[in-house]
Chain A
Amino acid sequence: MISQSLMLVQISLRNLLASKLNLLIGGLLLMGTFFFVFFGALLDTLSDSMSKSVVGSVAGHIQIYSSKSKDELSLYGSMGGDPDLTAITEFPKIKAALETLPNVKTVVPMGTSAALITSGNTVDLTLERLRELYKQRDGKSTNPSAVKLSPEEAAKQIESQKGHVRQIVKVLQGDTEKAGVMLDESKTDADAKAALTKVAGDEFWQNFEADPYASMEFLENKIAPQVTDGSLMFLRYVGTDLDTFQKSFDRMEIIDGQRVPEGRRGFLIAKFFYEEFMKLKNARRLDKIKDGLATGTRTIAADADLQRFVKENSQQTRELVLQLDSIKTTDAVGRLQKLLGDDKESDLGTLLARFFTMTDENFAVRYAWFYSDLAPLLELYRVRVGDTLTIKAFTRSGYVKSVNVKVYGTFSFTGIEKSPLAGQISLMDLMSFRDLYGYLTSDNTEELKQLKANTAAKDVTREGAEEALFGEGTNNVVAEATPGLIDEKKELSGVAKILRQEDLIRRVYNQKEIEGGVVLNAAVILKDGRTIEETIKQINALSEQQGLSIKAISWQQAAGMLGQVINFIKGLLLGFVAVLFLLAMIVINNAVMMATLQRTQTFGTLRAIGAQRPFVLQMVLIESVVLGLVFGAAGMLLGTIAVAVVGKVGIPAFNDYLYFFFSGPKLLPVLNAWNLLVAIVLVLIATTVSTLIPAINATRVSPLAAMQADE
C-alpha cells in the first residue's frame, strides 16, 4: 500500500513538469499562497500594532457605554460629530461588578468630547500683561502667584509693554497701507483706520498715563480685533480619572511638565497636538525641516516641501515681530545683526526674513542658534505648561459653559509619539469634564444642597406642584414673598467662595468623588488581551443579569471608522486571494479535464492491466494535490522569505497617519503560523475540489481505451 502511494506520488511529481499548463496552475497557486501568507502577515501585524495604538492610547481593550444611548460610541469622533451617549450614573456599581470578572484588570471612567478653544491674540496677551502690571502697581492685583516687583522695575516693564503695543500698531499700519494699495480705499474700515492712526500718534501715548485703564480698554476694543493672529483650535479630549488612567495606560509618558497631582483638576495636552498646533509656526517649520533632513534622503535644495517651509518661514515673520516688545526687539535685532554680520540693517522683519532664508549648508547652525539665542525671547507655545486653559463647550442642554483648567504638562504614548490620531486626544480630569457638560459634580451637588437649605426650597412632587405653588395648604407663600428677603450675597457666600476657580484648581478630590458622578463611557483593561470577544460576552451577560444597562464593544468598534479600516483591507485581501483561487480552480478544472482526455490511453491501460477505479481516482487527485503542495509550498516559502526580509528592514511610516497604524516609525511584519496553515488548507481544498470532477471522469475511462492504437 505504501509502495503504491509512493509510486503514485512519484508519478505525479514526474507529471508535474511534463505539462506547461501545470506551470500556469502552479503559478496561480503560488501567487495565491504568497499573497495570503505575505499580506496576511502584514495585515495581522498591522492589526496588532493598530490595536496597540488604540488599546494603548485611550480605548483599552473594551469600551463600555450606556445601552440606552442613541448612537454608538466612537472615540475618534464620527462623520456626524460626537455620538449622542446616555450618561452612566452608577459608575462605581458597574466598576465593582465588572471587576468581579476574572479577566478584567481595571475599569477607567471616561467621557470623550471636543471643543474649540481660542488662544488670545498678541495684543490681548500684551494688554493682559500690561493690565496686571498696573494692577500690581496700584495694589489691586488678585493674582497670588505674581512676583512682587520694585516700583522702578514695574515702571520699566510697563514702558516695555507699551513699546510692544506701539510696535504692533506699526506693523498693523504697514499692513493697512499694503491693503490700501490692493483694495479700494473706501472698502477698508474707516473707523478701524482712524483708531489705528490715533494710536500710532504720540498724543495717545502721552495721555496714556492719565487713565491707563481707559486707554487699555480703547486698545482692547479698537486695536485687538484688527490683529488676526489669534486662532481657534479644535481640541479633542477625554475626561477621565487621571490617576487610574495614568496607571492603566502604561505607555503614557509625560514629556513636559508633570502629572496632574492625585485627585486634582487639571489638563494634559497631547504632545503631538501641542507641537503641531500650539507651537510658534516658524519654530514648528524649523523642526519639520530638521526632521526632513534627518532622513538623510531629503535636502532643502531638492525637496519641494522643505523649500516651501523655508519660504513660508522667511515670509511669515510677523508673528515673531508682534510678539517682541521694544526691549526684546532691540535685543533680537542686535543678536541677528551679529549672526548675519550686518550692522546696518535694523529692521527686525527684514533681519528675520534673511535669517530664515536657510540652505542645506547653514541650516544646522541657524537651527541651533534659533533655539539658543532667539527662542528665549519668544513665546514658543500659545499655551505654556502652568497656564490656565479656558475651555468652552455646549452642554447637553445647549447653553455654553466654560471651565478653567490648569495645564500641568504634555504627554505622549511611547511608540506612537508621532501619530496624529493618538496625538490628537488630550486629557482632562473628570470633574472639569462634568462641569463642562452640565453634569452634576460633587461640588455643584453640594452647592445645590446648600442653596436649597438656605432658601428653604424643598422638593415638590408633580402631583403636589399646584398646591405647593398656589398655597391651598398651610403655607401662605404669597404673604411671605417680601422683596429683599433673600440676600443673594449671603445665600451664595461660602459655597460661591468654594466654587471660585482658583480654589477648584487647588482642591483635592477623593476617589469616591471622582467616580461618583456621571461618566459617558469607560475603558475596560483586560489581563489577557487575546480574549476580548469572550470578555465582551461576559460583560454583556453580566449587564443583563444585574441590570447595569451597559453595552460592551471591542476597541476596534470603539475606534469607529478607524477600527473598520483594517477589516476593510482584510476583506480586500481575502477577496483578492479568493479571486486568485477561483481562477486557479477554473484553470485546474479545465486543465485536468484536458489532461484526462489526453491520457485516456494511460488510464485505459492501467484499468486493463488491473487497476480498480478508486486507484485511478487517487492517482488524479494525488497529482493535483502534489501540484498544489509543491507550488503552494513554494508560495509559502516565498511569502515567508518576503515577511522575513520586510520584517527585518521594516516598512517605514512615511506619513503621520501610518505612524498610528504601525504603532511606531516602522511596521515589522511577523509571520503568523496560522496563516501558513490556512494557506495550505486553502490550496488543498482548491485543488481537490477542482480536480474531483475530472478525476471521476478519469475513473470512467474504459480499459478498452488501452486497445486504441497510438498514444
Chain B
Amino acid sequence: MLREFAPTSRLRSDAPTVGALLDDLEGRFPRLRSKLRDETGALRRYVNVFVDGENVTTRSPLSTSLVGEHTVDILHSIAGG
C-alpha cells in the first residue's frame, strides 16, 4: 500500500537513525509526508518499523540507531474491517 505514495520497494540511505531515515524518505517522496508520521512527529498507529527483523515501533522508534549496515522494513499492520 505504501507504494501509492513512494513508488519503490527498496532503497539505500545513509541516515543514522530511523527518524533521519523517515526524513530522508519524505524528502525523496513528498507524498509520504504526513502518511507515516503525523505533524507532531509520532508514527501513525498502524505503521510498524522493523530494524533487522525486530519491531522497534513500541520502543523509541525514531531514535533507533542505524549506524552501520542495517535492513529497515516499514510495513503497515493488518487492521480494519
A is bound by B: no
